[in-house]
Chains A and B, each alone.
Chain A
Amino acid sequence: MRKTDQSRTFLPLVWYGVMGFLLLGYILLPFVRTVLEALRAGDGYGLLNFHEFFSNPNQWTVAKNTILLGVSMVVTCGTIGILLALYMTFLCSRFKKLIHILLLSPMMVPGVITVIAFIQLYGESGVVTKAIQYALQLPSAPFVFQGYGAILFVITYTQYVYFYLNVYVALKYMDYAAIEAARSLGASWLQIFRDVIWPVIRPAVLTSVIITFASGVSAFSAPNLIGGGFKVLSTQIVRSKANNHMEMASVQVVVLFAISVTVMLLVRFYSRRFGSIAADRSQPAVPEGMRRGWLAVVGRIVVLIQILLILLPIAAIIYLSFVSTSSIMQDIFPRSFTLENYLTIFRKKRVLKPLINSLQMSVMAVAAGLVLTVPSAYLIVRRGGRAEGILRFALMLPSAMPASLVAINLINAFNQKSLFAFGQVLIGGYYIIPIAYVITALPMLLSSNEVAIQGLHPNLEEASRSLGADMGNTFVRIILPNIAPGIMAGGILIFIRMIGEYTMSALLYGVHNRPISISIITNMQEYNVGISLAYGVIVILICYLSLALIFRLDDRRFL
């Protein structure tokens, strides 16, 4: 008996030891290093660097731009996302599943590819720009696709998905009888929204505000590629790092972190005043008459525009990837089709390498992330004590960290030999990028694993043990097969997010691990537009195939 009791606490203890070592070495201490780097003043420490930052009007503008972008994104994404969720829940009747998947799909295309697709459409020599110019016989391009407006346009198109999906899921728990009750009592649609629907979706909206703001202030692809004179912190961080101003880069990421954490805490504080309201769904009948009103017409138009916006760039990028680069650059409507771009990628090892790198590093990150988070999630869900609370907090910490912060932390911690890397210098090596991917993936993987494990009734494990299976046998035969779909779905989602990752990659890549996102940009800048677009199409294809796999594995969560 002593033996079984010991093994019940011994294994978790070993696990906490390993996790403690890793979380300390790769998340907590690197963050401390960044803060110290930001405070470095000559040989000692002080606020010199912060003083320099805040006394420089250019830096102030950069900080203000960053907040402006975050706030405007919340407004635009919130409006579009909530409208779409309401339309899909209450009004959409035909092709609902297809439209839903289409509306979710921007999440599946890496930001960097979205941006270059938009450039191909609306940029100076973009298809839409040229079409308008041609049609109206204008001497020059009708608009300049650059700066604040262009960034907001591109980001809104990709990031409304958080609002849309969260609100859509929250509305699944809406009690339709409550809407009918309100109507029968004489409430108008506006009053129904305010009094009946809003309280149900409020928690989802607040969560989305946090996520959207965070992704807005740390957005990198769009400001970097179409920002023009509109500078934000994330682009300046990369610039500081490239100029080897690690102290200034550290100050900038700390400011960025402070902005996103402050907003997160404010929203959390505000949302704590409300409990969440969820009713068991009654009959999912759509109230009669709702489908015919002017709201339905407006909703349908918004959905149509949105789908057009979603499909157009993808169509353009696929179309142009089959056209030679010279034709893309010269013709108004390129028509000389060729497979050259794809053939170059698959024939030349050097050109194929970034794709292989990204595939390898993403798979590695997902595998390592799952190895770390599955046992942790299991212990957190099943034991739920103080040690598990600390473990959970540490694993969720990266969700508060912008991608550039994670990368700068790693640079500060591993640009020299480190105990936590067993005496190696990781910066410049292959593994630093997969490590960064794992760190940012931990919170999402942990959450999806927790959901999967919570869905597994503890009785199943007890049944297995009472039938004679030990803990190991039970884990392999019962727990794993039953949680695998949920866990795999979470893993694939991370794979999709990592395969086109750009922000951390830009800060951490070297000759050995150049990822595809970097190659897409450099090929673009070196006027190999065709190759750049073919890369993009291949990544989109990989992402959509993965998405199809997720829907097979875990359709309840999304549909």
Chain B
Amino acid sequence: MSDVILKNISHSYGAVRVLDQIDLTIRGGEFFTLLGPSGCGKTTLLRILAGFIRPTEGEVWIGDRDITALAPEKRNMGIVFQNYALFPNMTVKENISYGLRVRKLPAEERKRRCEYYTELAGLKEYEDRRIQELSGGQQQRVAIARALVIEPQMLLLDEPMSNLDVALRVKMREEIRAIQRKVGITTLFITHDQQEALSVSDRIAVMRDGKVLQTGTPGEIYDAPNQEFVADFVGFSNRFGGRLVRPEQMQLKRDGEGVPVEITDIRFGGMYYEYRVRSQEGEYRVLELNRGNASQKWKRGDTGVLTVLTEGSGANA
């Protein structure tokens, strides 16, 4: 699979610049995520890749081919839309085979591929249903199968999980990841949910105001954010001793070396305890795994000392 390269892409709607000199390389076969708050330009970037928008400046390449000006129907990109965009006038099977029909593929080939992807998406028993008769999760599977059946060069996922409830989101993102691994297709995933991004991606690009702030593996983004916005967006961080430190990388002790603090609030999260503590310099959050009886028993008003547990390579605050 070829790399997908975005070269110096900028885009403006009238006077509003929504993308500013984006340079990205998505490697063949990788699961790449654009992570950012709404309005950061991630969807515009996806639409440029799909060919619905022609960028004001810059080029889109797949391997050694410039596709910047190619019509969307000639790009061979599979897209899963936020609202799935399933054709309400067709059944599940008709939706999935649509891309093959407009390509005028031989009936036999159509049948073979259709069956394979229907099976892969776990839709065998629903194939004759109308779209309106499916649940949200089933609709999403149809959207994925429909996008994959054309065996696209690339799979584009535009916040596909945002219409699902929390439990289903977790299940579906694992399913999507499993299917992606099995098919081995280069995938661009768009989300504003950092949990989702961290758990499924090979690499992540964090975006804000039309710019890419940092690109890296989930580990790199989380452990070594290159600026405050990235650090805050992928989780909470304390500004401690001039650095950004994650709450779970801090430790409370009864005494010893460290910054003296007072416990101001305790929240029980089941798997962990979250402590709000105050020193003379400021307030911090500390996370501690719940180890049952082995956990330290702190009370509000207790005093102790705060230290950094692991010397991570956080950016300067």
Chain A residues proximal to chain B, CB less than 8 Å: 1-2, 4-5, 457, 459-460, 462-470, 473, 477-478, 481-482
Q: Which of A5, A457, A462 contacts B72 (CB 8 A)?
A: A462
Which residues of B are found within 8 Å of A2, using beta-carbon distances?
69
B residues 70-105 near A (Cβ < 8 Å) are: 70-79, 81-83, 85-89, 98-99, 102-103
The winner among B72, B87, B89 for most chain A CB atoms within 10 A is: B72
B positions within 8 Å CB-CB of A: 50-52, 54, 68-79, 81-83, 85-89, 98-99, 102-103, 146-147, 150
CB distance from A19 to the nearest CB of B (A): 26
Please name 16 further chain A to chain B contacts, defined as beta carbons within 8 Å, in addition to the given A1-B71, A466-B79, sorted by A numbering.
A1-B69, A1-B70, A4-B71, A457-B83, A459-B85, A462-B79, A462-B81, A463-B87, A463-B146, A464-B87, A465-B72, A466-B77, A466-B147, A469-B102, A477-B102, A482-B87
Of A460, A465, A466, A469, most buried by chain B (CB within 10 Å of CB) is A466
User: B69: nearest residue on chain A (CB-CB)?
Assistant: A1
CB distance from B281 to the nearest CB of A (A): 48
Most buried by A among B69, B73, B83, B99: B73
**A1 partner residues in chain B, CB cutoff 8 A:** 68-71
Contacts of B78 in A (CB 8 A): 466-467
Contacts of B99 in A (CB 8 A): 467-469
Q: How far is the CA of A5 from the CA of B86 in the complex (A)?
A: 27
| Residues A466 and B75 in contact, CB atoms below 8 Å apart | yes
Known: A459-B81, A473-B102, A477-B102. A465 touches B73 (CB 8 A): yes
Contact B87 A469 (CB under 8 A): no
Contact (Cβ within 8 A) B87 A460: yes
Partner of A462, one of B52, B102, B103, B146: B52
Is A467 in contact with B98, judged by CB distance below 8 angstroms? yes
Interface SS majority for chain A: helix
Q: Are B69 and A4 in contact (CB under 8 A)?
A: yes
Q: B85 near A468 (CB under 8 angstroms)?
A: no
CA distance A358 to B130 in the complex (A): 40
Contact of A463 among B54, B69, B79 (CB under 8 A): B79
Q: Is the CB of A470 within 8 A of B71?
A: yes
A478–B52 alpha-carbon span in the complex (Å): 17
Question: B residues within 8 A CB of A467?
Answer: 73, 78, 98-99, 102, 146-147, 150
Closest chain B residue to A484 by CB distance? Answer: B89
Smallest CB gap from A473: residue in B: B102
| Nearest chain A residue, comparing its CB with the CB of B82 | A459
Tell which of B76, B81, B103 has the most Cβ of chain A within 10 Å. B81
Residues of A within 8 A of B83 (CB): 457, 459
In the assembled complex, the Cα of A481 lies from the Cα of B87 at a distance in Å of: 10
Question: From B104, which residue of chain A is reached at the shortest CB distance?
Answer: A468
| Residues of A with C-beta under 8 A to B54 | 5
- In the complex, which of the residues B74, B83, B85, B147 has the most CB atoms of chain A within 10 Å of its own CB atom? B85
Knowing A467-B146, A468-B99 touch, does A460 contact B85 (C-beta < 8 A)? Answer: yes
14 contacts between A and B (CB under 8 A): A5-B54, A457-B85, A462-B72, A465-B52, A465-B73, A466-B73, A466-B78, A467-B98, A467-B99, A468-B76, A470-B71, A470-B73, A478-B87, A482-B87
B103 touching A468, Cβ below 8 Å: yes
Do A482 and B73 touch (CB < 8 A)?
A: no
- Docked CA distance A460–B103 (Å): 18
Q: How far is the CA of A434 from the CA of B78 in the complex (A)?
A: 47
CB within 8 Å for A462 and B85 given contacts A467-B99, A468-B103: yes
Closest Cβ of chain B to A143, distance in Å, is: 56
- Chain A min CB distance to B185 (Å): 14
**CB <8 Å contact, B98 and A464:** yes
Q: Which residues of B contact A477 (CB under 8 A)?
A: 98, 102
From A459, A469, A481, B89 is in contact (CB under 8 Å) with A481
